Amino acid sequence: MAYAFQNSRDKQRFGSKAPWYAAWTDVDGKKHTLKVGPKKKDATEIAQERERNAKRAASGLTIDKGWLDFREEYERLALPNMPSARSRDAARQALDMFEKIVNPKLVQGVSRKTFDQFVAKRRTMRGKKKGDKVAAATMKKELRTIRAALSFAVEWGYLQHVPKLPKVDGFETEKRYITPEDFDKMLSHLHVARFPNDQAIEPWQWWDALLSLLWVAPNRITSMLMLRWENVDLEQGTVTSRAVDTKQKKYHRASVPVVVLEKLEAIRRFDPRVFPWNHSESTLFRQFDRIQAAAGIHLACDGDHEHTDACHAYGFHDFRRSFATLNGELPVAFQQNQMGHSTYATTMRYVGYGKEQRTYADQLHLPESMLNRAESV
């Protein structure tokens, strides 16, 4: 039985402004109450809806769930289990864009047509670069994120099945990776760097250590800048990084060749950070572009947009692709750990895993400049 009522204590305290409550009973006979607000009509409707949904769920039918209510539940129950703050932010941004374009009302109203409308509108929207449209890879990632959210809706009884995703042309594109030749050119032109200029070392030494570590243990640049000396073991030859989301308590211990360890030791000063950077993020990228320009690196860009200098230079993420490309013969678990991939964090707990990594570290691909330096030591 579903009905609305007012609490006697609320009546004594608030009089005619006492709030109304919704009351209903599920199929198992369990009674529920929910404080609604000042209107009896709203409380009655909610009570009837909750009881109806309880009966539908017991019969294996989908529940009439509003999209905004589902979104609130998803962010409260599912998002906290994601491995990083970056993943949670990306999920929220994708859902925000989905709501902005298709404005869904009920979860069970999301269909293949809804996805088609989303893609059609998204194609016409402006991309990150002037004159460019949203990249197919971006749309594909957003669709995967929305599909992941809807999979929870299916499990919670709000949707019978997740609609099939539409194909997005142009998703399969060739990704850049830094060639050993271009990396050697970068190391030969580090003298043009002007920042960081507030350390007790030369800027080129800072960049030499950073780029060399990225070559053999290509973690994300944000993680590199967060790296502290307490996480570097020069004797064991390891660099330990922790996931940005401290709740996950995930560690990644990457093995580092001796030649790179020497470069790290050369920049060690009093700062607890391995790579102190007290300037803006844009300055960091401009310095990286400056080094590449001096090295004569000018990459082709076939994007249909107004080109900038960044179009013709490598990004820090390209180090990760280089590692995977040039060290493909090494075990996948070792590669994932070197790159700080969260999926393999639990592997670090197994006994003897560190020893195995140290064995494979000597097989890492090194450019000629590093090999020559190692032989001369």
Give the mean model confidence (pLDDT) for residues 90-107: 94
230 vs 332, residue with greater confidence: 230
130 vs 167, residue with greater confidence: 167
**pLDDT given at position 169:** 74
As a whole-number percent, the residues of the chain with pLDDT over 70 amount to 81
284 vs 173, residue with greater confidence: 284
In the predicted model, is pLDDT for residue 146 greater than 60? yes
Averaged pLDDT of the chain: 82
pLDDT winner (highest mean) among 131-140, 155-164, 207-216: 207-216
- The string of DSSP codes covering 4-61 is EEE-HHHHHHHGGGPPEEEEEE-TTS-EEEEEEES-HHHHHHHHHHHHHHHHHHHTTP
Task: At 195, give phi and psi (nearest 5°).
Answer: -130, 150
Residue 182 neighbours by CB under 8 Å, 6+ apart: 292, 295, 297, 314
At 316-374, the pLDDT tens digits run: 988 988 887 777 677 766 776 677 665 443 323 322 333 444 456 667 777 877 777 65
Report d(CA 246, CA 242) in Å as an integer. 8
Give the mean model confidence (pLDDT) for residues 207-235: 92
At 195-218, the pLDDT tens digits run: 999 988 999 999 999 999 999 998
**pLDDT given at position 116:** 94
**pLDDT given at position 295:** 95
Beta bridge partners of 106: 66
Report d(CA 341, CA 176) in Å as an integer. 19
Pure H helices in 172-257: 180-188, 203-216, 221-226
DSSP reduced 3-state for 246: coil
**pLDDT given at position 332:** 66
154 — pLDDT class (breaks 50, 70, 90): confident
Contact 284, 277 (CB under 8 A): yes
Beta strands in 122-280 (DSSP E): 232-233, 238-242, 251-255
Report d(CA 66, CA 69) in Å as an integer. 5
Give the mean model confidence (pLDDT) for residues 101-130: 89
For residue 3, the surrounding DSSP H or E stretch is strand 3-6
Contact 191, 236 (CB under 8 A): no
- How large is the greatest C-alpha to C-alpha distance in the chain, in angstroms? 89
**pLDDT given at position 49:** 80
Give the mean model confidence (pLDDT) for residues 129-143: 83
**pLDDT given at position 375:** 56
**pLDDT given at position 173:** 46
Q: Torsion over CA of 11, 13, 15 and 17, rounded to 10 degrees?
A: -90
At 245-284, the pLDDT tens digits run: 444 455 678 889 999 999 999 999 899 999 999 999 999 9
**pLDDT given at position 297:** 94
**pLDDT given at position 245:** 42
